[in-house]
Structure 1
């Protein structure tokens, strides 16, 4: 049951889950399946009743909405020395309720690497089993995908001439056309696999939470911010926070599970006294466990943006750049749940190698049949009037490491986010190679005839240094941060392979922060599977 206020039938639960994003919703579904177990799922935001959430093409309208989004400013960086704002979902479903709905799973090698790093139980065979259980893939069940699961994914069934030219251009560059982009790990390009069903967004709340929300043993508390975990005698026993400004407390008799994401979970741990001792002392927090890598080892995709002007009036700019066009698109959507507003943020996804000697793709790009006006941080996107197309690209597995650290014992104080993009030579050279390949894609085959000129950044940006500076100045986060509570076998790894926090009993972290390396693609799917897989471990340990 979803509680708008703190009217719980009990204040004590077996499991307290903090964060109702993909991992938290999957955990709530699985753990509450046992009627003898009581589960509390806590969400700082509101219920996901905003009508813009369900409309795929309305995602950009949520970017400036403080009721739907968290806005996290980073430490200044790059040639201009400016910060950027990292967005996260602030509602049931978390970022899956506000994201671009791109569904990638990562490659087999990503998960087998987790095992090689000392994390048994996280290899491809284990995570594939989770994917097959959660997926409802329109291409049906097979050895590598699932059907009939709670998380519906879909892809475009009819081609668009402009977008087909993108795919054909990729073919001329040697990439295979893929109907299901998750079917293999080869160089490939195709229409996006997206968390959309019948023209409606499929968020984690829609897939995992709402179908079971009426279970008597599941309580969902919204408008509830967790400030810290209560730790007594080395054991997590509950959480303290605020609900609508009033003091809030919940007790966990079995486990507290942090599923608040790669920014919030390390913040909560640090506020609870679990983190780098020097950071905690400087912030005025008593040290409970000196865990030096809480908030460290963060990895994030640095996505550069490229835009071109089209020779013909194709794409979505004409529709989306005027009130009249937007109204027409909404009428079409409300009538049939089709059209521009039924599409994911990016309609083409591709994976390729920046060097022929590589054994798998190290680069990803995404293409949208529209172009955007210069962005203002934390505000809704605006579409250009003249016809255009946009692409973004990034290194799939960057090696630069940033950090997230509290600056005060006040839970409302902002954290210090150091993105540390392109800090390694590998990240810099790979980003340059991806940029040149994407520029080449727009000049290849039938697509070249559609392109009048490159408008962003323009041909004047051409040297390696200029490209790197452009990526840092005009690019953006992929919103795929990981690693801030990374799993591993060593004493200084924040969690072990069963996602248990070292130094505190009955406390786990289950979200993107536990990945020590980035998965090859977008994170919505991997974090959903992570939550599903983690439930197996929690149930086994009960």
Structure 2
């Protein structure tokens, strides 16, 4: 028995476990389906690529077919302490003031930028030191690359030639800007949510962490959530009870799955899956938004960049040995080394696109295939429409917890997303037409110079682009009775049940989500413990 059951030890769950257990009189039980993060590859920044194919370490969610060739893809999620923060690309950004203020405008008081920025400053330990926007001394270390490849400086210089402002810390501004990607890395090692928040408090007597335990169902007493039913590593059925609250932190795929499996969701979905309807909630699993990354790749005219260090097992071995000696080099870097925020059109009031760039290139691959670095030298850029409006969905297909989800990305369903994506792709090409990087390029390898029209650009993004792994909205907060949670993240229609993960966001934060959900979880802990009084709705 615990006061609080936290389901899922990802970015949000680790923060909640640390903060709720600060009170020695509060008993906290954190339940994770995956195992420990002892494997050294979790801590090598680029080591995550070696873990993606292991279903024991990574959840694999296949999507419905989409795109010109009717292919689907696999959405990975971390199955380990730290969740996806233990396998992600580690790029750290926070979104824009307007994103958080939009949450308030939509009827969610208490989530504005003036509330969230001080939290970012509290959680950060920024290698560049404190400022009005940065934090230092917090649990989450954030840093620029230790020894960036010279091509990174040339990409930044190309951005300035395009009119972007070069910045030491791109999180210090909201204008069009370019710089080295800030990342959750310290001294060449990944800083996951488990390492930053959970590991320092594991010995608290009021905190229990259970791994290898898959929660399959919520337990109720009338309209009150009282616990969960789960399967442990040995396949046995166990139950855990909560005196105060059950808090779901399973992400935008796992949380709606557990709710639907427990009878909370769209009645037609539940009945089709053979699950009894406890609460008919059409919004559980709907309103999902996700970034679709447009890809652009070039061949270099000299043997520069990372490909020469990562393209064969022998080269990877030599690079790994160097990493072990000094924790530098390609393996110590985030997924992408350079980041830019820009406008897809000059008349916009703020950037609506993000570019992530690296001095390497991977071979084209399909869902289920292993990602391989090309042997010839190359550079890559992926770009996201920061605030997409297309909505996908997540639905269970069976009462069996092991049955696959029905994940429909529904990329580029709106005219807005398609037009912004097409305009953005042309700006990507314009970026790499600037010196000094332009002189390094031999030719475009993907999608190819023949891709010019809006339709061709969208087809290339669907057929050869990438998922951003930033799904939100499947249990979105809002003031309406049809919204899944209220502004305090309490599930409507059920007492003592709360959701704290990216599924509660009704609109996309303008960037990567790892940092924002940690800050939101920090604030959620204050709401749960009554440390802050939620403001009244306007």
Partner of 2:166: 177
- Give the distance between the partners of 1:271 and 1:19, measured in 2 at CA: 16
Partner of 2:210: 221
Residue pairs, 1:308-327, within 5 angstroms: 308-327=298-317
Give CA deviations for 1:360-399 in whole Å, capped at 9, x if unaligned: 1000010011100122423442110001011101100000
Partner of 2:85: 96
Provide the alpha-carbon RMSD of the alignment: 1.1
Partner of 1:508: 498
2:504 matches 1:519:
no
- Give the distance between the partners of 2:97 and 2:116, measured in 1 at CA: 9
- Give the distance between the partners of 2:147 and 2:193, measured in 1 at CA: 27
- Give the distance between the partners of 1:506 and 1:541, measured in 2 at CA: 18
- Give the distance between the partners of 1:247 and 1:172, measured in 2 at CA: 61
Work out whether residues 364 and 464 of structure 2, in 8 Å CA contact, stay in contact via their aligned partners in 1: no
The structure 2 residue matched to 1:194, chosen from 176, 180, 183, is 183
Partner of 2:535: none
The structure 2 residue matched to 1:437, chosen from 427, 441, 447, is 427
Structure 2 unpaired stretches of 5+: 533-538
Work out whether residues 46 and 223 of structure 1, in 8 Å CA contact, stay in contact via their aligned partners in 2: yes
Work out whether residues 146 and 328 of structure 2, in 8 Å CA contact, stay in contact via their aligned partners in 1: no
Give CA deviations for 1:240-297 in whole Å, capped at 9, x if unaligned: 1101111011000000000000000001011111111121122111111111100000
Residue pairs, 1:141-540, within 5 angstroms: 141-156=130-145, 160-244=149-233, 245-540=235-530
Work out whether residues 147 and 329 of structure 2, in 8 Å CA contact, stay in contact via their aligned partners in 1: no
Partner of 1:74: 63
Give CA deviations for 1:65-115 in whole Å, capped at 9, x if unaligned: 222211100111112112111111110000000011000110111000000
Q: Under a length normalisation based on structure 2, what TM-score does the superposition of the two structures give? A: 0.97
- Give the distance between the partners of 1:82 and 1:203, measured in 2 at CA: 32
- Give the distance between the partners of 1:79 and 1:541, measured in 2 at CA: 51
Q: Under a length normalisation based on structure 1, what TM-score does the superposition of the two structures give? A: 0.96
Work out whether residues 61 and 380 of structure 1, in 8 Å CA contact, stay in contact via their aligned partners in 2: no
Secondary structure (helix, strand or coil) at the match of 2:530 reads helix
Give CA deviations for 1:313-335 in whole Å, capped at 9, x if unaligned: 11010110122221221111111
Work out whether residues 63 and 379 of structure 1, in 8 Å CA contact, stay in contact via their aligned partners in 2: no
Q: CA deviation at 1:161?
A: 2.5
Q: CA deviation at 1:537?
A: 0.4
Work out whether residues 63 and 381 of structure 1, in 8 Å CA contact, stay in contact via their aligned partners in 2: no
Secondary structure (helix, strand or coil) at the match of 2:103 reads helix
Work out whether residues 61 and 381 of structure 1, in 8 Å CA contact, stay in contact via their aligned partners in 2: no
Partner of 1:20: 9
Partner of 1:130: 119
Q: CA deviation at 1:358?
A: 0.9
Structure 1 unpaired stretches of 5+: 1-11
